[in-house]
Chain A
Amino acid sequence: MPPFRKGLLKRKIYSEDPKDSRNEALSKNESLEDSEDLIRGDLDDVNDATDSEHEEDPNNAGSDNEIEKVMFGDDADSTLGDEADLEDSDQSSDLTDSEADTEENDSSDENEVSETTSDSEKSIDSGAESGPSQAQSSDEAEKKSANQKQQKLTTKSLKKKQLQTQKETKSSVDILADKIKNSSVSIQPVEQKDEYSSGDTSDEEDRRNTTGEVPRWWYDEYPHVGYDLDGRRIIKPPQRDQIDEFLKRCEDPDFWRTVKDPSTGQDVKLSKEDLELIHRLREGHVPNSSHDEYQPWIEWFSRSVLATPVRAFPDHKRSFLPSRSEQLQVAKIVHALKMGWTKTRKQLAEERKKKREKQFYNLWGSETEAVRGIQRHIPAPRRPLPAHAESYRPPPEYLLDAREMKEWNKLSETPWLRKYTFLPTQHHNLRSVAAYSRYTRERFLRCLDLYLAPRAIKMRLTISPSDLVPQLPSPRDLQPFPTREALQFRGHAGPVRALQPDPSGQYLVTGSDDGTLKVWEISTGRCLRTISLGGRVSRVLWSPAAGLSLVAAAVGPRLLLLNPGADIGAHRIAARTDELLEEPPPRRDQAEDERTASCVEWQKVAPEEWARGVRIAVKHFKDIVHVAWHGRGDYICVTLSDAASRSVVVHQVSRRRSQLPFRRNKGLVQAALFHPARPWLLVASQRAVRIYDLVRQELLRKLQPGAQWNSTLAAHPSGDHLLVGSYDSKCMWFDLELSARPYQTLRLHGRAVRAVAFHPRYPLFASGGDDRYIVVSHGMVYNDLLQNPLIVPLKQLPGGEPRDSLVTLDLCFHPTQPWLLAACADSTVRLYS
């Protein structure tokens, strides 16, 4: 197999399926065999071969036919290959194309054949010219021509095949190229003819020497270079030596383009075309100079509809008929669409959009079925509504002035402490109002509050503060009570420590720090008598005994019983009192225990004291704090300061005898009283109030006022209620029948309470102390045990001027009138009526 064939094969293999290539190869072999047969045939009957060209030699014709057959077989092969993939309609069309092509080629081939014969004759001529020594018989020439023809046929078929394969490779790639080729084929059949008509082919060159591919130097020693087709030697041309060469170079102007043909040894003068070709090859261009590499691209198949079809042949009928299978498929889809089984993409997208869109309906339309909600739901509080300050144009008073602005700036670190969350600003018109920069933030904070802030129900009081104040009867309905200061009794030089009106209510006795005791007429305020006692008078008390005119006065440690004088009260009574007290009673039982004797001494009254009115004097071992008469006027209870267990002493005036009721110290005793109705002794110590039964000599009750330091004690005339004043500015009302705790604690004073007093007749009580006011209250006690006492503070009466932070030192009600008497620290006594 010649190398070019191999190359062809190779290309086929690359371009086509292996099966195809095999077929192809087979066909080649066949054709080769055919050609060999032909040669043989030619050799067999050489004579016939002379006119074999135009006369239809049966053998020759057969061979020709055979060639055709081969070609068709090739085609058939290709069609078979096409059948393997029948779906490709392009292939089929290609098939038709190739068929048409072959036909055309065939027609052209015949022309070619005729031409080549003429060419070969020409070449023979030339050969005769070139080789003068060559004796060529006519039959040899005929043989040669036959051979040539045969060879040409084979090459022709080969060329055809090449074309075909090219076509096939192309067709497998694209139909368009094929069509172009087609058209070009149809347009330029002449050019192809020209290609073969030019006799100067390499085949003819080869034909001169039949040595084949052997090295030329084998023939160096021989006079010939090889053998021509007829087997005759091809004689070498006469050898030229160096001088001839030189001469030729000098003489021949075409020497530079004369080359030696290695096969024949002839000199060949290269033509202009040859030179150009060589030049082009060297340059690396396409050898054919007429080929335009950059020819304009003709777009045959464009969007524009052409008036005439590009392709020369009409479409197949099939291409006009709609595909049945496709039709079925489409029908299926259309039916599905009609029935709504499938939807188009657009519909789907729309549907999706619709689904995504919120659909609202009457949510509260139907009757409310019980929906389970949050248990004990606490609705979020609403935001407070804006006030005037938030206005875009607030009244001028809401704008911050310089001072407020300073504070505002100071709180820039802690903006939540500011008065407003925004700065009140004055805008002159609506168009100058800017957006509020914290708006989004505020909304966000509200959102946070809604889901993050713990909620609790907080009871908000809708009451006004006055609702907390107890509803009490109006003071106007509780008259009479002292409403204003009526009189001031002036005359004392020091703070008035104590005072008491006499039981008839006509006189008033006062004791002061200036060491005097004064007796006043209440109605006029006239001082009737002044008795100097030579010491601070801490307590003064009229004796409650009706037939006696006797005043108990505590002067330091001494308790003096005085008769205020003949001009005070009835003369007879005064005289009788003197008479009674003139003589001390006979001491029947002098067995006074030592403990009593150590602290109490009944003194003999000196005559000058007697003249001043002192009738009895009892000296104690400590200063007297408090003095209280028993209701009958026979016993007198004295409280001594810092005397521990001996701080309470009870004296019996008629017998001039003393007792110490307590053995043990039970706290600092502040005051001790006799119960107005029962044989009880009430003792107020610093913290507690104790009630002792004097008959049974036992502790009855212990009351807990709850104050830090009790100061004073007063008993209601009925005896069932107690009033305790304390230095921590409280007054405690005790209902003895209720409990040991105070029934009511009154904080009517701002400072210490020093004196409390009940009115013996009216439901009044008063308290006074270190603050400027004396408070008169209504303290109604009912006979009905179920009804609690009614306590109504009635009036604040202004007391005296404060002296050494003391204001009111003692209080006492008038025995018959609703009048209050107050001993003031500014050395006056005031009467309130």
Chain B
Amino acid sequence: MVSKKKKKYSSGEGAQFMTRKAALKKLQLSLKDFRRICILKGIYPREPRNRKRAQKGAGGIKTLYHTKDIKFLLHEPILWKLRELKVYQQKIRKARAMKEYPRMRKYLRDYPSINIDHIVKERYPTFVDALRDLDDCLTLCFLFSTFPSLKRVPRDQSLLCRRLTVEFMHAIIAAKALRKVFISVKGYYYQAELEGQTITWIVPHHFSFQPQSKDEVDFKIMSTFVEFYTMMLGFVNFKLYHSLNLVYPPKLTAAFSDTDKELVDEQAYVAERIAAMNIPVIKLTGANETEELPEMDIFQTEGEDTQKLEEAKQEAEKVKKLKTMFNGLKFYINREVPREPLVFIIRSFGGEVSWDKDLFVGATFDESDESIAYQIVDRPSMDKQYLSRYYVQPQWVFDSVNARTLLPINKYLMGAVLPPHLSPFVDKTRDQVYKPPEERELLDPNFKPLNEEESGSDIEEASDEDKEEDSEPEDPEQALTKQYQQELQEESTSEDEDGEGGDMDPEKKKLKKEKKKAMAVTTGVPHKEHPYQKEIEDKQAFRLREKLVRKKHRNLYKSMKAGQEKRKKEIWLLRKKRRLHDEKAKQEKKAEKRKQKLQAIEAASV
């Protein structure tokens, strides 16, 4: 007997993957429901190693899912719910068609909701897993919290998002977990650290909602995501409050509990939401107020570990300082300043905030309070100013948080031209990253930017170059080799004359000549080695070794080198642009000064 021939694609990659069409057939779902369950369950297509084989020989590019993923979906109880929903919708449709409106209303009223708690648990078996994946969740929830009621979006979704995000912000405030903030053109970036996980989210600027055409944005899909994310965020909030010894759900304001107030206008909502942030949440009784982190111990270990430990300790110290940065300081926010981000930031670093009580609810103290330390203004001038406080622009708060210290306010005073706002998210440990002079100034207090001083620009440039050397090891070496080659050429020319080579300085040559002229013993001149001789040699040796890169890695090596070159070029370009800008600014400044002088002279002469 001839054994049966094995069918093609019945094993290996061909059996491992499943096209979407096949998945739909297997699950007996419509594409819409499949999409929904994929979003809820976090199933995604996979890229096969060999597409041809995975598609069972079919051409083109198809959406491929893992067969096991689809089988996993097959056991999902929600699948049945979806099918039931389908029937239910048919009922509603029928009632509408028969014009049995009361029945239809009843159906609509009792529309079944899908419970997805178990999916949250399934997708995030531990709390830390959930925290790790919180970025998208928060960003989307914050976006939805600004949405009006939309077609295809459940009515209470944006309200729920609003509630949950405010709760989350409260948790962040209570945990003092905020680390970095950034004003981008897209919105406000916040980075918090919870349980060792960094969570970054974006809150859009005001009035971010714009009607979108259907081919641009499908709110139905986003709404399905939000459906899952709200559950996730709710559970995360609960756990956070639980771990912070806070009462959940917090009683923030009547706005979130009373849905009767649904017709309250948006402005009032926002105002209440911000006001809610200004109230400390209720602690569980018996929770100790000051929970100190245990002091980090340093064990006597060898080598790098101690250094690392030391660094970690310093970092912890800094963070501790940051957490209490605004402690005991009172801030007053002028009405033109966006309050939500500032209240959130100031409160999470221990400050007290208030605003105009006539305009918005929730003000805790008045403008005339003499103990206010900073008033945050965003207007060129003010009529009535108090001497007891600083009038600063909002960027000062952001920059101070990122610098982890209260920055000097002189650059941020009311009406002043603000310094550039730098991103705190740029990885400082990576090489080949352009650092603007402002950042370098921050990192290194001794650094002096170009445009600060009028004279001595050469020196600065030199120092700049030195910096460059530090940042990229390649750049100077080329210069050095050039230098060296020049020297070599010089040497070779000199060899012709002398017959014997050697690294002879002109002085030596002179000496020799003198020697020839008159035999005499003169004091020896110490032989000077070229300062970069060793480096040049190493560099050359590296060049040669570079050629021994294995054939297998050669392309990779080349591309990596090309990437390095590209980055270098970018850095060069930025540096050049900055230099040009600074020079221009300096000239303008000079011209202005000259003009002023001339004017003064004229005035004096007249």
Contact = CB atoms under 8 A, between A and B. Distances in A.
Given A374-B42, A748-B544, A390 B423 contact: yes
A733 B435 CA distance: 47
B240 to A, nearest CB: 11
A395 B453 CA distance: 19
A791 B210 CA distance: 67
Contacts of A464: 560
A401 to B, nearest CB: 7
B482 to A, nearest CB: 14
Interface string B358-400: 0000000000000000000011000000000000011100000
B91 interface: no
Interface in B241-275: 242, 248-249, 259
Nearest to A483: B537
The interface centre, meaning the residue of B133, B204, B421, B549 with most chain A CB atoms within 10 A of its CB, is B421
A468 B557 contact: yes
A783 interface: no
Contacts of A391: 182-185, 420-423
Contacts of B22: none
Contact of A465 (B49, B132, B208, B557): B557
Nearest to A361: B238
Given A390-B184, A397-B574, A428-B417, A360 B426 contact: no
A466 to B, nearest CB: 8
Interface in A745-793: 745-748, 775, 777, 791-793
A596 to B, nearest CB: 44
A352 B259 CA distance: 14
B187 A439 contact: yes
Contacts of B132: 379
Interface stretch (A176-184, A430-438, A573-581): A430-438
Interface string B552-569: 010011001100100000
B221 A448 contact: yes
B38 interface: yes
A187 interface: no
B545 A472 contact: yes
A433 B210 CA distance: 16
B44 A451 contact: yes
Interface in A449-472: 450-456, 461, 464-466, 468-470, 472
A600 to B, nearest CB: 43
B448 interface: no
B148 interface: no
B133 A360 contact: no
A662 to B, nearest CB: 34
B173 interface: no
B218 interface: yes
A27 interface: no
A750 B488 CA distance: 22
Contacts of A431: 336-337, 378-379
B346 interface: no
A363 interface: yes
Nearest to A773: B544
Interface in A366-406: 368, 371-376, 378-380, 382-383, 385-388, 390-398, 401
A425 interface: yes
Contacts of B69: 374-375
B193 interface: no
B145 interface: no
Nearest to B210: A437
Contact of A794 (B488, B544, B556): B544
Contacts of B212: 440-441, 444
A356 B239 contact: no
A447 B418 contact: no
Given A382-B135, A430-B337, A793 B143 contact: no
Contacts of A443: 139-140, 143, 222
Interface in B408-455: 417-418, 420-423, 425-426, 436-439
B186 A422 contact: yes
Given A372-B72, A436-B208, A455-B47, A444 B122 contact: no
B125 interface: yes
A371 B122 contact: yes
Contact of B45 (A358, A395, A454): A454
B83 interface: no
Contact of B248 (A360, A380, A437, A456): A360
Contacts of B209: 440
A484 B501 contact: yes
Given A397-B575, A448-B221, A468 B556 contact: yes
A476 interface: yes
A531 to B, nearest CB: 25
Interface string A411-446: 000000000001011011111011111011111101
A383 B138 CA distance: 13
A430 B395 contact: yes
Contacts of B117: 363
Nearest to B426: A387
Contacts of A447: 140, 221-222, 225
B92 interface: no
29 contacts: A352-B109, A363-B239, A371-B125, A372-B122, A374-B123, A378-B46, A382-B200, A386-B189, A386-B425, A388-B422, A391-B182, A393-B395, A396-B420, A398-B574, A430-B183, A435-B206, A435-B208, A439-B204, A439-B208, A441-B212, A444-B222, A453-B45, A454-B44, A455-B44, A475-B537, A475-B541, A486-B500, A777-B544, A793-B547
Given A372-B72, A393-B395, A454-B63, 8 more contacts: A365-B239, A397-B581, A447-B140, A447-B225, A455-B44, A455-B47, A461-B560, A464-B560
Closest 3 CB pairs of A and B: A456-B47, A385-B425, A793-B544
